[in-house]
Structure 1
Amino acid sequence: MSKAQSKISRKTMFFLRGLIIVIGGFITAYGLEAVLIPNSVSDGGVTGLSIVGSQWTGLPLGVLIAILNIPFIYLGYKQIGKGFALLSILGIASLAISTSMMHHIPTIVGIEGDTLLVTVVGGIIIGFGMGLALRNGGALDGIDMLAVLLSRKLPFGTSDLILFLNLFVFIVVSTVFGLRGALMSGIAYFIASKVIHLIEEGLSSTKAVYIITGYADEMIKEIRDRLGRSCTVQHVEGGYSKKEFRQVKSIITRLEESQMKEIIQDVDPEAFITVHEVTEVRCGNFD
């Protein structure tokens, strides 16, 4: 691929990612205006603070979302990068404009007053929208940006940090929606965080299995014959024993994990095994 073609390809990918983030903002706005806010349930993060501010001052929600996110956009630009900041501006603008457009949209019929349905449906919708944005390199909320930054420095996932930071937001939410509203908001956002994690990490549910064994050739053959999976091999050395081993690595689906354990047990019950979650698999013949 030439440099010109590569540049066009990057621009196309950036455009597609931006488009998906805009769609994510639209979906999140719908969850807010058609499910949560009409039922006195707030979102978390800067959006939640904006909802509280809108209730206090009467200012449009979209205006407050745009204004309160400015410091976080600057933080994202300085600490994470220009591309992330641009995509996040696009996402936040999409959310702000969409909430203004949908302010008088009818509430979803059948869930009014039903605490369980409101929290579950609202959490799923906003989590899906925010997850789309995070998966494509942007954010719809300043708290998301802060969580992305902290996830690079702390041993926690983005969705876990978002949930932790929002605990403080829901204390503020309780001043407007009361304790019951704050608790419902927290439950809805907990559901949203799990959906965010699912969207961000992917739906493939793949795992990388590392096997240190003295029977590498037999292990590779059994994995190929019984699972149809290929393997890669790396030579490793024991830190204390100084013995040399061969480490077999294979990518499998979650459904194949039990069968992989059977293969390892049959070939080498003494093998040392580590299993890691895999976010995404590209190229090769895995599918």
Structure 2
Amino acid sequence: MNPKLLNAFKDYTMITIGIILVALGLEYFHIPHNIAAGGVSGLAIIINSFLPQVPVGAIILTLNLVLFLVAFLTLGGGFGAKTLYASFGMSLFMWVVERFYPPVILTEDLFINAAVGTIIIGIGMSLVFNFGASTGGTDILAKILSKYFHFDIGKSLLLVDFFIGLGGVLTFGITAGLYALLCIIFNGALIDRFIDGFNTAKELMIISRKEGEIIDFIIHELDRSCTVLNGYGGYTSEDIQVLYAVLYRRDYIRLRNFIREIDPRAFISVNEVHEVLGEGFKDIKL
């Protein structure tokens, strides 16, 4: 299969999983309990309280259409196309749920509904964001802030959604409104944490007398590469070679175990890297 088509299939598959999670979190946890936790979905919940005959999914779709022009003009056609798919897909899935699987009250506990719904929605939105799309609405505004002002996506969402949360306080009362505000705060932190988790890698600096075997293992067993730096031992006064490599967690564990076997006296420095772009990792053009 063409690599571009394969990547596109992967992206849209993960986006689809993400929007399904967001829709389930809304329909079964937030909407039944009037938790307007920001975003167009939160605004739609507020509007639905005044127009109960109009489904929340339809309101979300209508509100998103107003913002799509902004997305196409400021974020480019690729992002706009994926966002269009995500928004229509989420609205369609919400309609299917409302039409054929009417949400039931799983629990009356407002805290459990707020917490579980926020976790499910946070995971779903992280997937959508991580593969270059948005669920539409205020997510678009958050992406614009992230692109042009270099804000974290989670913090951008927090700023935009805070005012919607205040609307929830005025509409549904102090208890539901405050839970909504708490959901907004934690949702932003969860999104940033989950996105970091998707792109996390290990940055390694290795000093070993078995550098040749380690390089061979990295290249032939892990199908990765490394950079060899010439160094000088301050204590030993000997010339040394320092291996620099960036690996995914699973590859790092395999390499660490290999080094333990061949050179227990090796020196390894490990740092957490939150994003890696370039050959062998995420395409820097995306």
Aligned to 2:31: 37
Q: Distance in 2 between matches of 1:251 and 1:46?
A: 39
Counterparts in 2 of 1:99-138, with a 5 A limit?
99-103=94-98, 105-107=102-104, 109=106, 111-112=107-108, 114-138=109-133
2:16 paired with 1:22: yes
Instruction: Name the aligned partner's letter for residue 123 of structure 2.
Output: F
Structure 2 CA distance for aligned equivalents of residues 38 and 31 of structure 1: 11
The answer to whether structure 1 residue 182 and structure 2 residue 177 are counterparts is: yes
Deviation, 1:71, is: 3.3
User: Relative to 1, partners in 2 of residues 1:248 and 1:179: Cα closer, same or farther, differing over 3 Å?
Assistant: farther
- How many residue pairs match? The answer is 256
CA distance in 2 between partners of 1:71 and 1:220 (Å): 59
Structure 1 unaligned blocks of 5 or more: 236-245, 260-265
Of 66, 74, 88, the match for 1:79: 74
Structure 2 partner of 1:263: none
Instruction: In structure 2, give the amino acid aligned to 1:139.
Output: S
Letter in 1 for 2:177: A
| TM-score, length-scaled by structure 2 | 0.71
CA distance in 1, matches of 2:59, 2:192: 27
Q: Which residue of 1 is the match for residue 262 of structure 2?
A: none
Identity value in percent: 24
In structure 1, the residue corresponding to 2:173 is in which secondary structure?
helix
Shift, 1:103, TM fit: 2.7
Contact conserved, 2:166 with 2:181, CA < 8 A, in 1?
no
- Distance in 2 of aligned mates of 1:39 and 1:63: 19
Matched, 1:54 2:51: no
Instruction: Choose the corresponding residue for 1:144, options 124, 139, 145.
Output: 139
The answer (yes or no) to whether the contact 1:65–1:96 under 8 Å persists in 2 is: yes
1:57 alignment partner AA: L
Deviations 1:2-48 (A, max 9, x none): xxx64xx3234323422332332222111111111112212311121
Whether the 8 Å CA contact 2:35–2:177 is kept in 1: the answer is: yes
Query: Quick one: which amino acid aligns to residue 167 of structure 1?
Result: F
Q: What does 1:224-243 correspond to in 2, within 5 Å?
A: 231-233=226-228
Q: Structure 2 matches for 1:124-273, cutoff 5 A?
A: 124-203=119-198, 205-208=200-203, 231-233=226-228, 249-251=244-246, 253=249
CA RMSD of aligned residues (A): 3.9
What is the aligned counterpart of 1:283 among 276, 280, 283?
280
For structure 2, the residue ranges without an aligned partner over 5 or more in a row are 231-240, 257-264, 282-286
Letter matched to residue 153 of structure 2 = T
Q: Is the 8 A contact 2:37 2:164 kept in 1?
A: no
TM-aligned CA deviation for residue 102 of structure 1? 2.1
